[in-house]
Amino acid sequence: MRPPLIDDLRALTPARAGGDLLAGSITAVLLVPQALAYALLAGLPPEMGLYASILPPVVYAFLGSSRTLAVGPVAVAAAMVASALYGWAGDDRELYIQGAILLAALSGVLLLAMAALRLGWLTHFISHPVLSGFVTGAAIFIVGTQITALIGAPGSGRHDFLGEIRHLVAALPQANGATAAFGLVSLLLLALARSPLQRLLTRAGMAAGAAAMVSRLVPLVVVIVATLVSALIGAEAMGVRTVGGISADLPIPDLGMFRSSGWWQLLPSALLIALVGYVESVSVARSLALRRREAIDANQELIGLGGANIAAALSGAMPTAGGFSRSMVNFDAGARSQLAALVTAGWVLLITLFFGGLLAPLPYAVLAAIIVVAVWQLIDLGSLAHTWRFDRGDGVAQALTLGGVLALGIEGGLVLGVAFALAVFLYRTSRPHIAVVGRVPGTEHFRNIHRHVVDTWPERLIVRIDESLYFASSPRVYAELQALVTGHDSALADVVLVLSGVNAIDASGLDMLAAFHDELQRLGIRLHLAEIKGPVQDHLERSDLLASIGAERLYLSTQAAVEALASDSRAG
Amino acid sequence: MRPPLIDDLRALTPARAGGDLLAGSITAVLLVPQALAYALLAGLPPEMGLYASILPPVVYAFLGSSRTLAVGPVAVAAAMVASALYGWAGDDRELYIQGAILLAALSGVLLLAMAALRLGWLTHFISHPVLSGFVTGAAIFIVGTQITALIGAPGSGRHDFLGEIRHLVAALPQANGATAAFGLVSLLLLALARSPLQRLLTRAGMAAGAAAMVSRLVPLVVVIVATLVSALIGAEAMGVRTVGGISADLPIPDLGMFRSSGWWQLLPSALLIALVGYVESVSVARSLALRRREAIDANQELIGLGGANIAAALSGAMPTAGGFSRSMVNFDAGARSQLAALVTAGWVLLITLFFGGLLAPLPYAVLAAIIVVAVWQLIDLGSLAHTWRFDRGDGVAQALTLGGVLALGIEGGLVLGVAFALAVFLYRTSRPHIAVVGRVPGTEHFRNIHRHVVDTWPERLIVRIDESLYFASSPRVYAELQALVTGHDSALADVVLVLSGVNAIDASGLDMLAAFHDELQRLGIRLHLAEIKGPVQDHLERSDLLASIGAERLYLSTQAAVEALASDSRAG
């Protein structure tokens, strides 16, 4: 799919341009505080969050297939950056920053490589429950690790949720009063700015749209007011940790880092960041596109996000992805094309150049409050109960991923969840459902004898196999077939296997069928196959199984098999 | 299942007892040289192979479900023991021996635990092609690493096939002439003793049974003659490495080793030894049992082999399993019950006690020749071509396992093969076959429109999904369904999904179906589901999907769906 921006710009009308201009400006208002906060969350200087909000979204705008996805720094990826670099960089601050840029470069290269090799399907192996458990776990993890920053207590210095929580108990009494005031007041205002403020304003007669707009201004207002108050009261002298100046220089690409030895060590982390960022971005982009009947091209998204991350690396920024809340705001504010993203980027560029230095007195605790409020909405424990009700395996996978993130860390939890979900699938497919079927009277349909009232015959055993015959399922299918043959009426003369549920047969499955056929032959029982699917039949033609069973014992339908057997027994 | 030995002993007749006595004695003749050789292969003193042939088969005789499986030391497990202990024990000879006993103990405990937890299905994940590639690879590996012993050249001292082959080129000129004479003459005699000797004897008028018996005597004769010759010419003084005395003491269980720290380190190796030994034993036992219409109980085999390995550990022996060639000989010689195994064990006990010391001059090269001839018959490259013809994925898995054993080692190759086979299965299930179907004229059956001449309708799209809807398959199914809907006639009013091939639906699959339903609703198209399997329907009842689609749009058969739609359109 061709990225839509150029066509959109050609077809631009004043009304549409106005919509994008407004939406882009509103998104910028939300983005600037988030950019500073997520850089803090990643353990990086604040300007790296701002840089991530300038060039990367511009590159995405030209390459991506979504008209409304807002690309930039995101909370989960920021936490993953911190996870990857804690330990790797040790106390070396410069190495840490270089590592973040390397992660962006690697993520970008991996996404582009996946686009070139058409490997987008790799992300299909992250199941919905695992992703949901992961996001909720990561959000709780992030909240847990922001509490010390919020109240000005000394951090544990470790990137570990359980350790941080244990540390908190001891650290609470060492909180800094002034910092806690900044943090908790900001937290309260930001929390109130969500639905309570909107409800209040609409109840006071304001239009819903205007109320939402005011509510979205609150984070920026909190940042500005906190910066002013901090400067006026001299908060830094009171022990409040502040941002301490944002470099107003635009970053210059440092190509030297590409000779770093970190490439290989950071590759697994970069892969996880790329996969999670991609999956989240595509799902946000898709749900927004659906609302306007637009389309998202999964492969073009790999290119768009890959390009954005390469741009992040080249402009000295942290890794980027499509943000959930920011894209929603952009969409709701009336963005129709990626022109809005260009407007947002322009605003962030201006703010970085001309106002960055003014943010020096901003307390970190305010940014921690922004992080906590932003990720709080990602916590979805109801989904866990919902998944559990539908499917126990998926429920355990979701809980295990969530718990794994908290107990083992962000990366470990994700890997554990994906591995567990795969294990559940493999376990289930290795224990297939097998049904003895009979004919529903008066029809040509055959159903499970234990679920339906059906006709059966003592001399015939008709068995439906509800799984592909592959190496892990074949031994069990074989054992069950043997047991059915042994347990059947001694008049048994014909076994019909109904293969409507057999979507594939591999070499082990073929061996199993051949062994079963041999065994039936020794017992003087004939084997018949019904409802073999086209691709399975093609595959079996490559072996001599069908020839040894005999073409006359293969039937398009179970009914045809039963009719043939009936005329056989009349003839005999 | 109850182990059959006690009942067999109760029902014993003189004729049957005679058969078992003879078969047990013949098997002993084959077993003694093999026991010495496989101990050498495992890098252990020869008596550890003999010990493995006494108590373990006795324990198996009372616990196992097979009447003819001959349990004792086997080549592949011996090579796996060497793989596990090389590196782990370093140059510490005593630790190496203790490690072998620990491996036997751990394998036994793991097999018993698998029996208790009913985890025998774990072995189903080793596919036939992977097992075949593994056995062939291990056999080639073993042959390659025995060449230096065969010709008396210095060994590479590493347990690594490619390294050994590279080393050979340099080591060949350093071969010891006398050793090479022992090794190569033995090799020639043993190779000739197989089919060529039997053909010769039968052509000379000997009965086929007697000829086979004579051929089976050859290894023992080679060992006795080589021992005599070696003693007479003073081979040891000529630089020939000899067995150098076998301890005639019966082993006394050393319970001290169970305090060793090796438990955890050797656990993964022990698991692989246990799994491979079990899979091989059960497949041999099953094929022999089938010939006499006897049954094998997979769980009872876990208990039998687990008990045998515990017995091996307690009697200071190496790990054991059911041997392929030895069981065949036992069966062919007329064994009817495990009484034969008791007879074999009795013979080995007598030989160990009274003749072990006499074997001191036996050259190692003769044992190497026995190993090479024994494992040579396990090499099956034809199977690789056969698998490749039937299934490319299985073919690659088999080749990769074989190559992996040679390049990465015995354990690495097995793990690689199992992982690759799983990846192939997951990849394939994530890209399911989807068929648009139409009705075969004059029938109630619906088949692929691209394979059969069928009736179709412009206002209806009938799609059969040939795979379970799980997290990895759902995104692709969704994309294909969307493409089919978009590409269909604009008169499209109804989509029927035929779920005969959908054996399971997980939470991600449910989300996908719900999203597809939403999308169709927005387009004013109705969704219908046909041929939902019973267990899948039960599962879906736990969600609100079926209710939101409407019970009247679920059909037992595709025909029923088409009839309902036809009467709908007549009514409308």
Reported as a single tens digit per residue, the pLDDT across B490-537 is 899 999 999 999 999 999 999 999 999 999 998 999 999 999 999 999
Does A447 sit within 8 Å of B444, measured CB to CB?
Answer: no
Question: Which of B117, B119, B128 to mutate to test binding with chain A, by most A CBs within 10 Å of its CB?
Answer: B128
Of B473, B519, B533, the CB nearest to A466: B533
Q: How confident is the model at residue A258 (pLDDT cuts 50, 70, 90)?
A: low
What is the pLDDT, as a whole number, of residue B251? 60
Does A510 sit within 8 Å of B425, measured CB to CB?
Answer: no
Instruction: Work out the minimum CA distance from A541 to partner chain B, whole angstroms.
Output: 9
Q: Quick check: A521 and A546 in contact, CB under 8 A?
A: no
B397: nearest CA partner in chain A? A507
For the beta sheet containing B446-448, the strands, ordered from the edge strand earlier in sequence to the opposite edge, are B446-448, B434-439, B460-465, B494-498, B526-530, B554-555
**Among B520, B498, B517, CA closest to B437:** B498
A480 touching B (Cβ < 8 Å)? no
What is the pLDDT, as a whole number, of residue A355? 86
Q: What CA–CA distance (Å, rounded) separates A53 from A75?
A: 13
What is the pLDDT, as a whole number, of residue A245? 74
A117 touching B (Cβ < 8 Å)? no
Using a pLDDT cut of 70, give the percent of chain A over it: 97
- Residues from chain A contacting residue B125 (CB–CB below 8 Å): 426, 430, 471-472
Does A426 sit within 8 Å of B124, measured CB to CB?
Answer: no
B117 touching A (Cβ < 8 Å)? no
- Return the ∠ at Cα A329 (arms to A327 and A334), rounded to 5°: 100
- Residues from chain A contacting residue B390 (CB–CB below 8 Å): 507, 510, 539, 542-543
What is the pLDDT, as a whole number, of residue A205? 86
> pLDDT tens, A301-337?
999 999 999 999 999 999 999 988 899 889 988 899 9
A525 touching B (Cβ < 8 Å)? no
Does B506 sit within 8 Å of A425, measured CB to CB?
Answer: yes
Does B508 sit within 8 Å of A128, measured CB to CB?
Answer: yes
Quick one: average pLDDT of B6-15? 88
Q: How confident is the model at residue A549 (pLDDT cuts 50, 70, 90)?
A: very high
> pLDDT tens, A20-61?
999 999 899 889 999 999 999 999 999 999 999 999 999 999
Residues with Cβ within 8 Å of residue A257, at least 6 apart in sequence = A98, A101, A102, A105
Instruction: Work out the minimum CA distance from B491 to partner chain A, whole angstroms.
Output: 19
What is the pLDDT, as a whole number, of residue B258? 59
> pLDDT tens, A439-482?
999 888 899 999 899 999 999 999 999 999 999 999 999 999 99
What is the pLDDT, as a whole number, of residue A252? 63
- Residues from chain B contacting residue A396 (CB–CB below 8 Å): none
Instruction: Work out the minimum CA distance from A475 to partner chain B, whole angstroms.
Output: 7
A390 touching B (Cβ < 8 Å)? yes
What does pTM read for this prediction?
A: 0.89
Does A539 sit within 8 Å of B472, measured CB to CB?
Answer: no
CA dihedral for A513, A519, A521, A526, sign (positive or negative): negative
What is the pLDDT, as a whole number, of residue A456? 93
- Residues from chain A contacting residue B278 (CB–CB below 8 Å): none
> pLDDT tens, B94-119?
889 989 999 999 999 999 999 999 99
**Average pLDDT value for chain B:** 91
Beta strand B494-498 with B526-530: parallel, antiparallel or unpaired? parallel
Using a pLDDT cut of 70, give the percent of chain B over it: 97
Whose tokens are 């007598």? That residue is B350
A131: nearest CA partner in chain B? B508
What is the pLDDT, as a whole number, of residue A231? 93
Q: What CA–CA distance (Å, rounded) separates B375 from B138?
A: 9
Quick one: average pLDDT of B285-293? 83
Does B390 sit within 8 Å of A507, measured CB to CB?
Answer: yes
Instruction: Work out the minimum CA distance from B557 to partner chain A, whole angstroms.
Output: 8
**Among A294, A296, A293, A264, CA closest to A278:** A296
Q: How confident is the model at residue B334 (pLDDT cuts 50, 70, 90)?
A: confident
B435: nearest CA partner in chain A? A534
What is the pLDDT, as a whole number, of residue A72? 96
- Residues from chain A contacting residue B474 (CB–CB below 8 Å): 124
pLDDT of residue B400 exceeding 80, the answer is: yes
B557: nearest CA partner in chain A? A445
Residues with Cβ within 8 Å of residue B220, at least 6 apart in sequence = B29, B30, B32, B33
Quick one: average pLDDT of A361-370? 93
**Among A272, A362, A283, CA closest to A319:** A272
> pLDDT tens, B31-55?
999 999 999 999 999 999 999 999 9
Quick one: average pLDDT of B74-102? 90
pLDDT of residue B572 exceeding 80, the answer is: no
Q: What are phi and psi of A438, to 5 degrees?
A: -135, 170
Residues with Cβ within 8 Å of residue B23, at least 6 apart in sequence = B330, B331, B333, B334, B335, B336, B340, B343
Quick one: average pLDDT of A210-233? 89
B449: nearest CA partner in chain A? A534
pLDDT of residue B250 exceeding 80, the answer is: no
Of B451, B466, B557, the CB nearest to A445: B557
What is the pLDDT, as a whole number, of residue A211? 84
What is the pLDDT, as a whole number, of residue B214? 83
Q: How confident is the model at residue A402 (pLDDT cuts 50, 70, 90)?
A: very high
Does A510 sit within 8 Å of B535, measured CB to CB?
Answer: no
Does B390 sit within 8 Å of A543, measured CB to CB?
Answer: yes
Quick one: average pLDDT of A125-135? 94
Token digits for A520?
Answer: 């039936």
Higher pLDDT, B300 or A205: B300
What is the pLDDT, as a whole number, of residue A432? 93
Residues with Cβ within 8 Å of residue B487, at least 6 apart in sequence = none
Q: How confident is the model at residue B394 (pLDDT cuts 50, 70, 90)?
A: very high
Question: Which of A127, A448, A518 to mutate to test binding with chain B, by most B CBs within 10 Å of its CB?
Answer: A127
Q: What CA–CA distance (Å, rounded) separates A557 from B327?
A: 44
Q: Quick check: B476 and B511 in contact, CB under 8 A?
A: no
Q: Quick check: B308 and B318 in contact, CB under 8 A?
A: no
Quote ipTM for the complex.
0.87
What is the pLDDT, as a whole number, of residue B569? 67
**Average pLDDT value for chain A:** 91
* Helices and strands (H and E) in chain B: how many: 24, 8
Number of other CB atoms surrounding residue A436 within 10 Å: 17
> Considering only A255-264, B37-46, B206-215, which range has the smallest mean pLDDT?
A255-264
A471 touching B (Cβ < 8 Å)? yes
Q: How confident is the model at residue A253 (pLDDT cuts 50, 70, 90)?
A: low
Q: How confident is the model at residue A345 (pLDDT cuts 50, 70, 90)?
A: very high
pLDDT of residue B14 exceeding 60, the answer is: yes
A430 touching B (Cβ < 8 Å)? yes
CA distances from A84 to A212, A267, A273, A320, A411 (A): 37, 10, 9, 15, 8
Does B508 sit within 8 Å of A394, measured CB to CB?
Answer: yes
B468 touching A (Cβ < 8 Å)? yes
Does A435 sit within 8 Å of B542, measured CB to CB?
Answer: no
> Considering only A204-213, A389-398, B363-372, which range has the smallest mean pLDDT?
A204-213
Q: What CA–CA distance (Å, rounded) separates A441 from A439?
A: 6
B469: nearest CA partner in chain A? A425
What is the pLDDT, as a whole number, of residue B253? 59
What is the pLDDT, as a whole number, of residue A214? 83
Whose tokens are 């690879």? That residue is B137
What is the pLDDT, as a whole number, of residue A105? 94
